[in-house]
Amino acid sequence: MRQGFDNDKYIELQAKHIRERIEQFGGKLYLEFGGKLFDDYHASRVLPGFAPDSKFRMLESMTDDVEIVIAINANDIEKSKVRGDLGITYDEDVLRLTDIFRGYGFYVGSVVLTQYAGQSAADVFRRRLEELGITCYTHYPIKGYPHDIDLIVSDEGYGRNDYIATTRPLVVVTAPGPGSGKLATCLSQLYHEHQRGRTAGYAKFETFPIWNLPLNHPVNIAYEAATVDLSDANIIDPFHLEAYGKTTVNYNRDVEAFPVLRAMMERIQGESPYQSPTDMGVNMAGYAIVDDDACREAAKMEIVRRYFQTAVNLKRTGVGGEQVDKLKLIMKKAGVDKDFSPARSAALLKEETTGAPAGAMILPDGTVVTGKTSTRLGAASSLLMNALKAVAGVDMELEVISNDAIEPISRLKTRQLGSKNPRLHSDETLIALSITSATSEDAARTLAALERLRGCDAFFSVIISAIDEQIYRKLGINVCCEPKYERHALYHR
């Protein structure tokens, strides 16, 4: 894959700036992590070369000084909000992240429920955390936030929130996704630290939008596409422009919240160390881009992916029509449309010529392979096998998986497990391929090529099953589907 980003340079620059911020504030820093801390797949898709765990790896050199606080919005728990890239709810992701952090030696101090207003699901989750031995704090909605600074910075505002007891110099505040209340958690802590006569600072480790790229750079537009459900928008930072006469890019929620932060700093230290939202960020991503064209193309592809994901969600749930409309405008701003990926036209053509659901995938060398539903394999399985054979150099006409491996699985599905569909899903196909690889050199070569599909883009002419989508995700293959079902029915699995 064409690389557009120097990951090692990025980690080095970010680590240096974080250490400088800790020293700036006398040894206690609340560091908000914008985006996902451990598995930032959005960044890895729009910045080819960015490792999903870059932020995590950077922190490993500071493990003994780091304490992690995980914020989760109580409204997201109540709505069972799901991480689109992992397919799990935000509350489950809190537990997953805690296990991961602890597994790498990080100290997870606590979880904070933000925007808590008596949500029943949040109460259930809090009790679950307590039973698991995880300390849980509660932060509340503040009337007039973020504009009524006098109320916010008072005992009736941040003062109502629980004080999160921390013990280490660098407190990393992270979350399962955007809108979780990370910034408000940090500001609340600064208020409580000040009330206790202690000095502390705040900074934001962020990736998007990239402040020193143009406002309408595709990488920044892709951020708007990723947060369309939050109505985020990239804007010129007016505070930075006024203070320094320089144009930088930020996003609306940070700009709106900046007066609160500045007022906090002024009350704590007499003056604010930051003149703008851009100042408070630690974001060296723009300096690590080594191939701008590669990043532009990757970002455009991501914008189109976001459109199809949202359109499919609308088809599945009946919710999200406004977001689909916004994404159409975002695509127009980025200069792309639904046909930007050659995989879409290839998949739709395959379906038209064969009369069966089909898929297409762009391989690492740029070629496109297709696959269609057959008597033995579903479209996702067929495409996966054809893509594997292509990158492994196996004859495309060769039946790599033996009938002896496929037939028992099909019989089990239809006779014992009650399925009406004898065709193999992607997970079942890989099991059959693995069995065949024990006696077939061609099957072994095909199976060994799985890692070479990571980062490829696939498009299907229909909405594929949840299990197929999950397997593709685990393999690192990006998936888009035409927002239509294979069959006319009211209930789909």
Per-residue pLDDT of the chain (493 residues; tens, 9 = 90+): 689 999 999 999 998 999 999 999 989 999 998 777 777 899 999 999 999 988 888 888 888 999 999 999 999 999 999 987 778 999 999 999 999 999 989 999 999 999 999 999 999 999 999 999 999 999 999 998 877 888 998 999 999 999 999 999 999 999 998 889 998 999 999 999 999 999 899 999 889 999 999 999 999 999 999 999 887 899 999 999 999 999 999 989 889 888 888 988 887 777 898 999 999 999 999 999 999 999 999 999 999 999 999 999 999 999 999 999 999 999 999 999 999 999 999 999 999 999 999 999 999 999 999 999 998 999 999 999 999 999 999 999 999 998 888 899 898 988 888 888 889 999 999 999 999 999 999 999 999 999 999 999 999 999 999 999 999 999 999 999 999 998 766 555 6
- Specify which residues 235 forms β-bridges with: 250
Domain ranges of the chain: 7-292, 341-481
What does the H/E/C string look like for 322-361? HHHHHHHHHHHHHCCCCCCCHHHHHHHHHHHHHCCCEEEE
The verdict on pTM exceeding 0.75 is yes
CATH architecture of the domain covering 341-481:
3-Layer(aba) Sandwich (3.40)
Helix ranges (DSSP H) in 143-276: 149-152, 182-195, 218-226, 238-244, 252-269
Q: In angstroms, rounded to a whole number, what is the distance separating the alpha carbons of residues 357 and 420?
A: 17
Going by the DSSP 8-state scheme, the letter that residue 163 receives in this structure is P
Q: Give the containing element (helix H, strand E) for 428.
A: helix 426-437
What are the tokens at 214?
């143009």
SS3 content of the chain, % helix, strand, coil (to 5): 50, 15, 35
Helix axes 441-448, 379-392, angle to 10 degrees: 100
157 by Cβ neighbours in 10 Å (0-12 / 13-18 / 19+) ranks as buried
- Specify whether the CB–CB gap between 64 and 71 falls below 8 A: no
Domain 7-292 grouped into CATH 3.10.630.10: yes
